[in-house]
Amino acid sequence: SQEAVSSELKKPLVPASLNLSEYFKQFLFPQNECELHDFRLSFSQLKWDNWIVAPQRYNPRYCKGDCPRAVGHRYGSPVHTMVQNIIHEKLDSSVPRPSCVPAKYSPLSVLTIESDGSITYKEYEDMIATKCTCR
């Protein structure tokens, strides 16, 4: 009826306290978006400094945060990621949303003392996360 429509129209579209850009942001990007985080550890925390001589500090980094619903090219995600999102939202919520995980790594050089007293310099693959993706 006309009264209902007119009363609806009178309602403020956006709460006055919230400005427009903030309002739209909650739809476009999740608040804590999937991204790379630092975690600097020293091998003495693991009590390994008696046999790992170098490096002194090691930052393996990690991925944390929510994946936006329409990921597209933003994270280098395959189309499957959006399909999984749709399944979660429309068909079966027991299927998990896509996760924020590392997509690329860089190597790490380690100098260690072996149990027989020999000394080893070795370069290990995939020891530091350098890029995140949603999958």
Partner 1 sequence: SQASREAAQIAASAELESEAEPWSLLQPLNGGNRSGLLAALFKVLYDGQGGAPRLQPDSRALGYMKRLYKAYATKEGIPKSNRGHLYNTVRLFTPCAQHKQAPGDQVAGTLPSVDLLFNLDCVTAVEHLLKSVLLYTFNNSVSFPSAVKCVCNLVIKEPESKTLPGTPYSFTFNSQFEFRKKYKWIEMDVTPLLQPLVASNKKSIHMSVNLTCGKDQLQHPSAQDSPLNTTLLLFPSLLLYLNDTSAQAYHRWHSLHYKRRPSQGPDQKRDLSACPEGEGAAEGIRSSRHRR
Q: How far apart are CA 131 and CA 72, in angstroms?
A: 16
Nearer to partner 1, 14 or 54 (CB): 54
Nearer to partner 1, 87 or 128 (CB): 128
Give the footprint of partner 1 on this chain (CB under 8 A): 46-48, 50-59, 76-78, 103-104, 106-126, 128, 131, 133
What are the Cα distances from residue 17, in Å, to 11, 29, 60, 119?
14, 20, 42, 64
Tokens of 42: 């020293």
CB of 92 to partner 1, least distance (A): 24
Tokens of 85: 């999102």
Nearer to partner 1, 3 or 123 (CB): 123
CB of 129 to partner 1, least distance (A): 12
The answer to whether the CB of 60 falls within 8 A of the CB of 128 is: yes
CB of 128 to partner 1, least distance (A): 8
